[in-house]
């Protein structure tokens, strides 16, 4: 088993919490992982990414090679496109459809979506709206993770168990809300 995952977004959006849960689920299944993160200057509203590598075999490079990513999970549509050179030919992009505009020259969102449309395997969804509908605007990450679940090569229960373990300190209610958001995201992906 091998999954190379690029997590993308804008500094402050919280891509690392997605990585943490996938990582937790992977570790619990006895898989190896490497996760390269971005700390420092670009966290201040710049583009950020994390390379998450999961494998049953030893992992060497901390970075995913070009055309190596099985999936790009992005909290922002333009940011998903930034890592296109890393996407494997049969790889998937799972992205939030809502732009995060903190620069004056952000392109026309229609152009961004058109460009995404050219990619072979894409799931795009408004995770912010779905999270709100689930009653927790802050669980947008979990909606996105849910939408990515079918392509992660792990059973959804394993991911849910990861959420349980990571959020259990914060109480039952938080766990439930996040799992609800996760399932909602998965539902959207599966219906597409």
Point out which residues bind other proteins (CB under 8 A). 10-11, 23, 27, 32-47, 51, 59-63, 65-67, 78-79, 81-82, 84-87, 102-107, 111-112, 115
Q: Toward other proteins, which CB reaches closer, 40 or 135?
A: 40
Reduce the DSSP state of residue 137 to 3 states and report it. helix
Q: Toward other proteins, which CB reaches closer, 66 or 133?
A: 66
Q: What is the β-pairing status of strands 47-55 and 32-36?
A: antiparallel
DSSP helix, strand, coil percent of the chain (3-state; round to 5): 50, 25, 30
Minimum CB separation of residue 136 from other proteins in Å reads 15
Q: Toward other proteins, which CB reaches closer, 97 or 185?
A: 97
Minimum CB separation of residue 54 from other proteins in Å reads 11
Q: Toward other proteins, which CB reaches closer, 79 or 160?
A: 79
Minimum CB separation of residue 53 from other proteins in Å reads 9
Q: Is the dihedral of CA 83, 88, 94, 97 positive or negative?
A: positive
d(CA 81, CA 97): 12
Minimum CB separation of residue 23 from other proteins in Å reads 6
Question: Taking the chain, what is the end-to-end CA distance rounded to the nearest angstrom?
Answer: 25
């Amino acid at each position: 088993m091998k999954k190379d995952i690029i997590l993308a977004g804008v500094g402050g959006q919280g891509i690392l919490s997605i990585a943490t849960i996938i990582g937790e689920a992977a570790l619990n299944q006895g898989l190896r992982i490497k996760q390269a993160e971005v700390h420092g200057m670009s966290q201040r509203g710049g583009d950020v990414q994390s390379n998450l590598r999961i494998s049953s075999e030893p992992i060497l490079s901390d970075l995913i090679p070009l055309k190596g990513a099985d999936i790009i999970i992005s909290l922002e549509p333009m940011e998903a496109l930034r890592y296109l050179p890393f996407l494997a030919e049969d790889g998937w992009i799972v992205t939030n459809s809502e732009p995060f505009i903190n620069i004056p020259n952000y392109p026309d969102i229609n152009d961004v979506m058109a460009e995404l449309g050219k990619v072979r395997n894409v799931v795009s969804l408004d995770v912010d709206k779905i999270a709100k509908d689930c009653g927790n605007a802050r669980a947008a990450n979990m909606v996105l993770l849910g939408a990515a679940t079918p392509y992660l090569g792990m059973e959804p229960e394993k991911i849910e168990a990861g959420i349980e373990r990571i959020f259990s300190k914060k109480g039952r209610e938080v766990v439930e809300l996040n799992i609800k958001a996760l399932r909602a995201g998965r539902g959207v992906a599966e219906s597409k």
